[in-house]
Amino acid sequence: MAEDSSPDDAVQPELQVDVWRGGAQGQYQRFTVPRSANQTVLDVVTWIQRHRDASLAYRFACRVGMCGSCAMTVNGRPKWTCRTHVRTVTRDRYLQIGPLRNLPVLRDLATDMAPFFDKWQAAQGRFSGSHSRRDPLAVIPPQSHERQAADAAIECINCAVCYAACDVVQWQPDYVGPAALNRAWAGCNDVREADRGRILRAVASDGGCYSCHSQQGCAQHCPVGLNPTRSIAALKRAALASLSSHG
Amino acid sequence: MASAARAYLLQRVTALIMAPLVLAHLALIVYAVRDGLSAGEIMARTQGSIGWAVFYTTFVAAAAVHATIGLRNVLVEWTPLGRRTATLIAHTGGLLLLALGLRAVYAVVS
Ligand code: SF4
Ligand code: SF4
Ligand code: FES
């Protein structure tokens, strides 16, 4: 792409980068990093770790937007850093890179993701089937309504960008958050799911879908274009309908 | 039904109930002010009126429930109070609102 070799990369040789160091009580540390063509924010962090301070803690694995491990706060917004080009987040060659919001900071740019995944369990974002290995495979036509409904909420890479973007998560520590609820809704739409009531009861309790304000911070920031707000709105309706008929 | 779901439903139902009542209430205020009705003239219309008693009792009850749920949500989200304390404070506030409202209704219709 012509845009990828923008002349900016050539004429602006350096970036000023503030990187979070330490735990919750840390501070930002300034680094000067050479600019290069098609540079991603993850490239910047990796350069600092290789050339300036080998003790810098951060996470990544795939570098192609599959694994969901590289999310950080970049100039105030949650981003998947491996797929975020520097030129899309800064105009004046300045970057501030911090750990994701709403999660305990372990060290530098690495957060403790345990609360995020614990909440997936709290929202019952797991499958319970009724068939055994001796039963024939379930056949779900790709064009069927059910399959299309499930499609809308899958493909989550568990990056916690939405979780960091959500103000309600910040205000209400027991709110399970957009990713867990989005996953719960995908589970509800799985025709093989044997116990939909289990999911709907879990999401209808305190800290569940009714805590969401539908402000769409999650949908705006999700790097793979999912819309947890829509899934949560659907969960609100489904949970009410099922709970009012089953008590 | 789970309490969060029940609160969500109740808050929407009470909002639905209140929407037309709020409009009628506002229209009534405009009417009373523009026609320059005195307190005495207003009391003459409301006293002994079952219609106004039902109208405002429903309004007060719906507002008390709606406000209790809203207040609880605000407390849970914006203060460090736990759910239990927030619920207690919100219920107290709601009961106070209900008592004050019913007292006012009683005063104008009795
Ligand atoms: S829509 Fe709901 S889950 Fe998404 S950011 Fe807003 S409050 Fe959080
Ligand atoms: S819903 Fe989107 S932002 Fe949230 S964890 Fe999944 S991929 Fe990341
Ligand atoms: S490193 Fe895997 S998504 Fe960024």
- The segment(s) of chain A belonging to CATH 1.10.1060.10 are 114-245
pLDDT tens digit sequence for A187-230: 999 999 999 999 999 999 999 999 999 999 999 999 999 999 99
Query: Cβ distance A125 to A118 under 8 Å?
Result: no
Query: Cβ distance A202 to A208 under 8 Å?
Result: yes
- The segment(s) of chain A belonging to CATH 3.10.20.30 are 7-111
CATH number assigned to the domain with residue range A7-111, chosen from the 4 options 3.30.70.1450, 3.10.20.30, 1.10.10.920, 3.40.47.10? 3.10.20.30
Nearest to A192 by CA among A245, A238, A143, A147: A147
* DSSP code at position B36: T
pLDDT tens digit sequence for A193-202: 999 999 999 9
Interface contact flag, B77 A168, Cβ < 8 Å: yes
How wide is the angle at C-alpha A191 spanned by C-alphas A223 and B1, nearest 5°?
85
Architecture, CATH, for domain B3-109:
Up-down Bundle (1.20)
Reported as a pLDDT band with limits 50, 70 and 90, residue A4 is very low
Nearest by CB to residue B78, choosing from A171, A201, A236, is A171
Determine which helix (DSSP H) or strand (DSSP E) holds B102, and give its type and residue range. helix B83-109
Nearest to A75 by CA among A97, A108, A59, A92: A97
pLDDT, position B35? 82
pLDDT tens digit sequence for B60-94: 999 999 999 999 999 999 999 988 999 999 999 99
pLDDT, position A6? 52
**For residue A2, is pLDDT > 70?**
no
pLDDT tens digit sequence for A40-57: 999 999 999 999 999 999
Chain A interface, best mutation among B8, B11, B73, by max A CB count within 10 A:
B8
Nearest by CB to residue A204, choosing from B2, B77, B83, is B2
Query: d(Cα A225, Cα A216) in Å, to the nearest integer?
Result: 12
Nearest ligand 1 atom to the CA of A213 is: 7
Residue type, A182: N
CATH number assigned to the domain with residue range A114-245, chosen from the 4 options 3.40.50.720, 1.10.1060.10, 2.60.120.260, 3.20.20.370? 1.10.1060.10
Domain range annotation of chain B: 3-109
Interface contact flag, B2 A205, Cβ < 8 Å: yes
Interface contact flag, A206 B5, Cβ < 8 Å: no
